[in-house]
Amino acid sequence: MSEHGAPLGPIEKSSVHTAGGMRVGATILGAGMALPRTVFTNADLEKLIDTTDDWIQQRTGIRERRVARREYGETTASLGARALQAALDDAGMRPTDLDQIVVATTTPDMPTPATACQIAAMLGAGTIAGFDLNAACSGFVFALNTVDALIRSGVARNVGVVGSDLITRYVDYTNRGRGTSILFGDGAGAFVIAGSDDPDRGVLARAMHTDGSRWPDLFIPRVEEDYPPDFDHEGHGVDINCLHMNGRAVFKFAVSTFSDLIQETLDKVGLRPEDVDHYVCHQSNKRILDAARERFGLPEEKLHINIDRYGNTVAASVGLCFTELKNAGRVRPGQLVMFLGFGAGLTWGSSLWRL
Ligand code: UT7
């Protein structure tokens, strides 16, 4: 057994795990990602809307993003399935070893079935528990907290956690949408999380918040009646099925909330900012991430940024970030990792893990 406890192996699906009074932990056994093949650069956007590569890079840190295309079979479910298969390969496990799949998404391919069901079928995972969870850009972090609790309570043992979003389906690529089209991209990230016989592995502290009164700051209306009564249509019009974002308001909210969230999470366990090995954050805007890094005096290598290549990928971003770190050999058992997300809802949340 390693210093931090060996992960428990796959279980028979029929053998329902119960904690039975024994404390168990949770461990991230594998991580994977999947991206659409089409790269959409700032230069490509310059051809469609009134913007410049310089403006986008200065205001957001983004150089390019990926855009999913149906003709390549790229859907929320198929990208999620590819990411989860990669995470299973990383963990040395098979789809049939999973007893649950939890998918964080804001953009399921259909209202029903849940994306988790489609992914289970695509991978051949058999009859397992599968459900989706929607907390927008905070979705993956909310899912990590949910899955850790399911495992510790004995409800689940080996869980596939997926964040998959094709948000560009709802982006307006005309000048009216230039505040959002520059920002968003598509992708998927996934973890395989399993029970561990070391109760000190898994979530050490968490926070999950929602201020529902702020939903008009970021929403996708399906019918005209979905608009809030006092919505200022100036510059927006009535754009059904388009992402509406009050960029300035969300930016202001994010800069203060993000730092407060880090402090709140550290306070719960009496840690200092420098005690955490990696901050794996939702990639919303490089300026928001830089502000948090500067407030806590963190070195660049502790707060991973990949928004330059993928843009804001909603529920996929945290999984994408961690997978890149893991693939680069930068994560090790025993390290402390704080996952952070915020977005539509408005929602914000953290999940501090001992790996
Ligand atoms: O993940 C979910 C949460 N979402 C976020 O975290 C997004 C948060 N918000 C943001 O990242 C930023 O608000 C944006 C990147 C969306 C916009 O940046 P900003 O610095 O807040 O710009 P702004 O909206 O205040 O606009 C500044 C100027 C305006 O012109 P005037 O009024 O100063 O003449 C805009 O019309 O920039 C103009 N502008 C653009 N110019 C070139 C707006 N969009 C563009 C554009 N290209 N694409």
Specify the pLDDT at position 231: 83
Q: What is the pLDDT of residues 230-285, one digit of tens each?
A: 887 776 666 899 999 999 999 999 999 999 999 999 999 999 999 999 999 999 99
133-158: pLDDT as tens digits: 999 999 999 999 999 999 999 999 99
Return the exposure string of 224-252: e unless at least 16 CB atoms fall within 10 Å of the residue's CB, then b: eeebeeeeeeeebeebeebbbbbeeebbe
Q: Which alpha helices (H) appear in the chain, and where do they start and end?
A: 42-48, 53-60, 76-91, 115-123, 139-152, 178-181, 247-269, 286-295, 307-310, 317-327
Is residue 288 exposed (0-12), middle (13-18) or buried (19+ Cβ within 10 Å)? buried
User: What pLDDT is attached to residue 6?
Assistant: 46
Q: Is 104 in the pocket of ligand 1 (CB under 6 A)?
A: no
Residue 20, phi-psi category: left (phi > 0), alpha (psi -120 to 50), beta (remainder): left
pLDDT band at 8 (very low <50, low <70, confident <90, very high): very low
Cβ-contact 119, 101 below 8 angstroms: yes
Contacts of 266 (CB under 8 A, 6+ apart): 205, 272, 273, 275, 276, 352
Contacts 24+ apart (CB under 8 A), 297-302: 297/273, 298/273, 298/274, 302/276, 302/277, 302/278
The pTM score is 0.93
How many other C-beta atoms are found inside a 10 Å radius of the C-beta of residue 104?
A: 33
Q: How far apart are alpha carbons 9 and 163 in whole angstroms? A: 24
Instruction: Residue 5: name the closest of 217, 199, 285, 163 by CA.
Output: 199
Q: Where are the domains of the chain?
A: 13-199, 203-354
pLDDT average, residue stretch 292-321 = 96
Query: Using N-to-C axis directions, what is the helix angle for 115-123 and 76-91, rounded to 10°?
Result: 50
Position 13 pLDDT exceeds 80 = no
Taking CA atoms only, the protein residue closest to ligand 1 atom 47 is 51
- Determine if ligand 1 sits within 6 Å of the CB of residue 59: yes
State the fold for domain 13-199.
Peroxisomal Thiolase; Chain A, domain 1 (3.40.47)
CA distance 87 to 41: 28
**What residues contact 234, with CB distance under 8 A and at least 6 apart?**
none
The answer to whether 164 and 79 have CB atoms below 8 angstroms apart is yes
| Average pLDDT for 305-309 | 97
**Å from CA of 253 to ligand 1 middle:** 14
Domains 13-199 and 203-354 belong to one CATH topology? yes
Specify the pLDDT at position 233: 75
Query: Which residue among 184, 246, 251 is best mutated to probe the pocket of ligand 1, counting the most ligand atoms within 8 A of its Cβ?
Result: 251
User: What's the gap in Å between 248 CA and the centre of ligand 1?
Assistant: 7
- Which atom of ligand 1 is found nearest the CA of 285? 11
pLDDT in tens, 166-202: 999 999 999 988 999 999 999 999 999 999 999 999 9
Average pLDDT, the chain: 92
pLDDT on residue 12: 38
What is the percent of the chain with per-residue pLDDT over 90, rounded to a whole number?
A: 88
Q: Is 244 in the pocket of ligand 1 (CB under 6 A)?
A: no
Catalytically active residues are 137, 282, 312
- The mean-pLDDT minimum among 39-43, 82-86, 296-300 falls in 296-300
What digits encode the pLDDT tens for the residues 33-66? Answer: 999 999 999 999 999 999 999 999 999 999 999 9
Q: Which fold has domain 203-354?
A: Peroxisomal Thiolase; Chain A, domain 1 (3.40.47)
The C-alpha atoms of residue 314 and residue 316 are separated, in whole angstroms, by 6
Q: Write the CB contacts of 76 (distance below 8 Å, at least 6 apart in sequence).
A: 105, 107, 108, 109, 115, 164, 165, 166, 188
- For residue 239, the model assigns a pLDDT of 87
If you take atom 13 of ligand 1, which residue's CA is the nearest one? Answer: 247
Query: Is residue 284 in contact with ligand 1, taking CB distance under 6 Å?
Result: yes
